Amino acid sequence: MAFDEQTAVECSQEIYEEMADASSKFPPFNSGHEGFAVLKEEVDELWEAVKLNKKRHPERDELMRKECIQVGAMALRFLHDMKLRREP
Ligand SMILES: [Mg+2]
């Protein structure tokens, strides 16, 4: 399967929208430890979705998609907050 730029742009947009929505509800990460903890929680939720049996859980692909977006959004928020903290 080849890299598809349009698909990557669409995924990036979904991640950005999730991050912007979460940022309207939650304050910035106070520390690297907090950012890591939130990101790990999302990775753990993605792992739980990955482990589902697809025959018994037909919603598995959609769950994985949503959790991937949340992982990306929290990584983006972590990066964003670190960048803001470094700048005056
Ligand atoms: Mg999640």
CA 88 – ligand 1 centroid, Å: 32
Contact 81, 28 (CB under 8 A): yes
Q: What is the pLDDT of residues 26-81, one digit of tens each?
A: 999 999 999 999 999 999 999 999 999 999 999 999 999 999 999 999 999 999 99
pTM of the shown model: 0.93
All residues at 6 or more sequence positions from 56 whose CB lies less than 8 Å from its CB, including other chains: none
Q: How far is the CA of 70 from the centre of ligand 1 (A)?
A: 6
Q: Which element (helix H / strand E) includes 52?
A: none
Query: How many residues can be counted in the chain?
Result: 88
Say how many Å lie between the CA of residue 23 and the centre of ligand 1.
15
In this predicted structure, the answer to whether residue 88 has a pLDDT above a threshold of 80 is no
